[in-house]
Amino acid sequence: MIDSRGTMKGLRLSLAVLVAGAGLVPGLHAQDSASAVATNLRVYQSLAASLADSLANLVRAADSVRVTVRIAPSDFAWFLQDGVERPFRARNCVISANDSARYGVEFGVVEMHVQYSNLRRDGIFGSRVLDRMVVLLARLRLVDRVAGTVGTSAQRMAVFSDTIGLSQVERIEHASLPVTRGTVPPEDFFSGIAEPLIIVGAVAVAIFLLFTVRS
């Protein structure tokens, strides 16, 4: 004889496991961590610092050595200047506006853009997330005016990528700065329609089995 109460309890437990396994927990986790997402502007500053660090490594160690930093185009200087200067300050260099400084740094932006891709749900019941990639390509040049030499002159790229919540896109972009904005791709069919249909179908089957056992 079948114990209907035990069977119903087992089906309810299976249904609970199915819902949890479908992605409810990952979705909540994504929402909890969303507040820590860096803005695209801040990411650009960090990428600029990482590129400039390769130039700062070529500066001869000395206290208070003077360095001039030029950003091109000049329209980008207001948000990239600090990032480019940061590794030089960390080496006790003095940033100067005077071209008589021993070292001259030229940081020319060639390309910078934000790309969003792979819009999807973080689990069936989770929030929508997408991949972000921030790219900064720059032409770097370091001149030693005292020695009359060029330490380096090269084009280099820095890339940052992570996964963010779709709801965070507006917050991490800068409305008046086009290079901080990207195009959000459309959600694919499976993530937008098929996944909810699968979970609804699974729940419907579980309910059907529940009432079948009871009858």
- Residue 150 sits in a domain whose CATH number is 3.30.160
> What does the alpha-carbon distance between residue 189 and residue 53 come to, in Å, rounded to a whole number?
44
pLDDT per residue as tens, the chain (215 positions): 444 444 444 434 333 333 333 333 333 333 344 458 999 999 999 999 999 999 999 997 777 899 999 999 999 999 999 999 999 999 999 999 988 899 999 999 999 999 999 999 887 778 999 999 999 999 999 999 998 899 889 999 999 999 999 999 999 999 999 999 999 999 875 555 555 666 666 677 767 677 776 66
CA-CA distances (angstroms) from residue 63 to 10, 59, 88, 155? 73, 11, 11, 29
| Residue 47 within a domain | yes
In a domain, 12, yes or no: no
> What is the distance between the alpha carbons of residues 65 and 162, in angstroms, rounded to a whole number?
37
Predicted confidence at residue 153, as pLDDT, reads 92
Domain residues for the domain of 127 are: 38-186
The total number of structural domains that make up the chain: 1
Predicted confidence at residue 14, as pLDDT, reads 37
